[in-house]
A = this chain, B = another copy of it.
C-alpha cells in the first residue's frame, strides 16, 4: 500500500486501524503539531479508545531506559499483543532527531509489524508535550494497540509529569552512591509503582537497594492509605536478565489496580487534571494572539525603560489590576 497522504482524520484512523503504519504516524504528527488539526484527530480517536493499558518508564540519562523498553517489548510480543511506544523528549526543540539513538537501541523490533515506535519532541509550545503525549496515547489506543509504553528522556518536572500519567510507572536507577537519593530529589519516589535497579551486576547494587527500601519505608510511614508497596526489581537489561520478573511486577500492579478500583479512580483524576491543563492551553493560544498586538510592543518598551514592571505591563495589556 502506498503511503497515505490523506489528511482527513476519519480516513486516516480507518487506515491506521486496518494496520497502515504511515496513517498512524501521520495522525500522531497532527497531534504533535497542536492546533485545530490536533483537535480534529482528538475528536476522531476519543470515542474509539479506552482499552489500552499504559506503562511509563523514566530515570536519569544513561540509566538504560531504552534497553529496558526494548526488553519489555519482547515480553509483550511473546504474549502476542501489539504495542505502541512513545519515546518522549521534552528537551531541545533544535536538535530534531535527538532520540534517534533510542530508536536504534529498540531495533530488535524494527521489523516487527506488531510494534509501532514513535519519538515525540517538543514543538516549542509551552506545555506542548504534557498535552500531546496523552493525546498520542489515545491515538494508539484508538488504533487498537492494547499496550502503550511511554519512555521519557531526562528526569525534570515535565518528564516526571508525563511518565507519571501512565497506569504503571517504572523508575529506573543504577547502582552507585546516591543514585537512589537523586531519584528522591527528582520527585521520582512519588510516581514510582515499580523500581528497577538496572546494570545490577555493577558494584553498589545492594547499597542502592537498601537506600530505596529505606526511602520506601519512610514514605509508607506517611502515606498510610497506600496498600501497594513498589517492588524493587534487579535487571541487567542488556543481557535480558530480570526482565521476566519486571514483567510479572507490571502484571501484579495491573491486577492490583483493577481489583481495588484504583485503575478507574486514577484515570478519572488524571483526566480531570488534563482537562484543566487543556483549558489553560486554549487560553494560552489566546495570549499568543494578544502578544502580536502592537500594544504589546509598546508596553515591552516601557518595561525596558523601567517605567513599568513586567507583571504590571501584563496586567495593563489584559485590563487586569
Contacts and interface: CB of A to CB of B under 8 A. Distances in A.
Interface of A is mostly: helix
Given A93-B187, A280-B284, 9 more contacts: A42-B312, A46-B308, A60-B61, A90-B156, A156-B156, A268-B304, A272-B300, A276-B291, A283-B286
A271 interface: yes
Interface in A113-158: 122, 126-127, 135, 153-158
Contacts of A15: none
A92 interface: yes
A223 to B, nearest CB: 10
Interface string A279-293: 111111011101100
30 contacts: A38-B311, A46-B306, A46-B308, A47-B306, A61-B185, A89-B185, A90-B156, A91-B185, A91-B187, A92-B190, A94-B187, A95-B187, A95-B189, A98-B185, A122-B157, A126-B277, A126-B280, A154-B155, A268-B304, A272-B300, A275-B296, A276-B291, A278-B314, A279-B296, A279-B314, A279-B318, A280-B283, A280-B284, A283-B284, A284-B284
A278 B310 contact: yes
Interface of A: 36, 38-39, 42-43, 45-47, 50, 60-62, 89-95, 98-99, 101, 122, 126-127, 135, 153-160, 178-179, 181-182, 184-187, 189-190, 268, 271-272, 274-284, 286-288, 290-291, 296, 299-300, 303-304, 306, 308-315, 317-318, 320-321
